[in-house]
Structure 1
Amino acid sequence: MGNRLLAIDPPKCGCTECIVGEYRPFDEASAFELTLMLDGFLADHTGLPRQQIIARTDQLTAGSIPAR
Structure 2
Amino acid sequence: MHHTPTMPTAVDPPECACTDCTIGATVPLDRAAPEQLAALLTGRMADRTDSGTEFTVTLSFTLTPGVSLREAAAHTVRAEFRSPGHHIGWDIDPSLLPH
TM range (shorter): 0.7 to 0.9
Identify which of structures 1 and 2 has the higher relative contact order when contacts are C-alpha pairs closer than 8 Å and 6+ apart: 1
Q: Distance in 2 between matches of 1:43 and 1:13?
A: 15
Q: What TM-score do you get using the length of structure 1 for normalisation?
A: 0.73
Answer yes or no: is 1:49 the counterpart of 2:54: yes
User: Partner of 2:11 in structure 1?
Assistant: 8
Per-residue CA deviations over 1:4-53 (Å, capped at 9, x if unaligned) read 4100000000000000000000000011100101100000111211338x
User: Where in structure 1 do 4 or more consecutive aligned residues deviate above 4 Å?
Assistant: none
Supply the distance in 2 between the matched residues of 1:60 and 1:3 (Cα, whole angstroms).
Answer: 21
Aligned-residue RMSD, C-alpha: 2.4
Aligned partner of 2:90 in structure 1 is 60
* Number of aligned residue pairs: 60
Segments of 5+ residues of structure 1 without an aligned counterpart are 63-68
Question: If the length of structure 2 is used for normalisation, what is the TM-score?
Answer: 0.52
Structure number with the higher helix fraction is 1
